[in-house]
Amino acid sequence: MRLSWPPGRASRAGLAGLRWRDVRAVLVIHVVLAIFLIGPLVAAANQVARELRGGSAGTVRLLARTVTIYGWASLLVGIVGFGLVRDRFSFSDGWLVASIVLFVVASVLVLALLAPLLRRATAAAPTGTGTGSPAGAGDTAGGTAGDTAALAPRAAALAGIASLCYVAIAVLMTWKPGG
């Protein structure tokens, strides 16, 4: 027996005609990927500004790497999500279109703007002791702490907007207004 999802809507072809049990498994994978990929991405991205203002160069480097890796990995959430959409929802659903647009915006903010900014910050970070020493202290072959601190407001804005996009997506995916 083939169940349609959401209830009351005829199922469309896609995902090779998976039954509801199979779709639930894909949905669980989608949610788990969102938790374990987007969660750490948001956490790392929101720590960046504080570290740029006065943290160690090593911590900035670690956060830059974390944001980049989890940013690319978070695209798996969207890929699995598209697999769910094909069979159970319509691209004419407003909540779904809004979620996709927000996901693309968040991905662009993280991968095209925040990650390169963090690479620049890593290159400009002081290469001294890495203890958060004041600007101009220690070996400054890579730059000064002031160079990286100047990037903090932009990093905070990018991370904050991306985080708000992810929160809005979670609300839309749970509430499904009009769906």
The residue among 163 and 6 whose pLDDT is bigger is 163
State how far the Cα of 129 lies from the Cα of 127, in Å rounded to an integer: 7
Write out the two tokens for 177. Answer: 């207004």
Is the pLDDT reported for residue 121 higher than 70? yes
Question: What confidence tier does 136 reach under pLDDT thresholds 50, 70, 90?
Answer: very low
pLDDT at position 6 over 60: no
**Predicted confidence band of residue 138 (pLDDT cuts 50, 70, 90):** very low
Euclidean distance between CA atoms 78 and 25, whole angstroms: 16
pLDDT-derived band at 12 (thresholds 50, 70, 90) equals very low
* Mean pLDDT, the chain, integer: 84
Stated pTM of the model: 0.79
Q: How high is the pLDDT of residue 14? A: 47
Residue 89: per-residue pLDDT:
79
Give yes or no for residue 2 having a pLDDT over 60: no
pLDDT tens figures, 35-94: 999 999 999 999 999 999 988 899 999 999 999 999 999 999 999 998 888 767 788 889
CA 20, 171, 71, 35 torsion-angle sign: negative
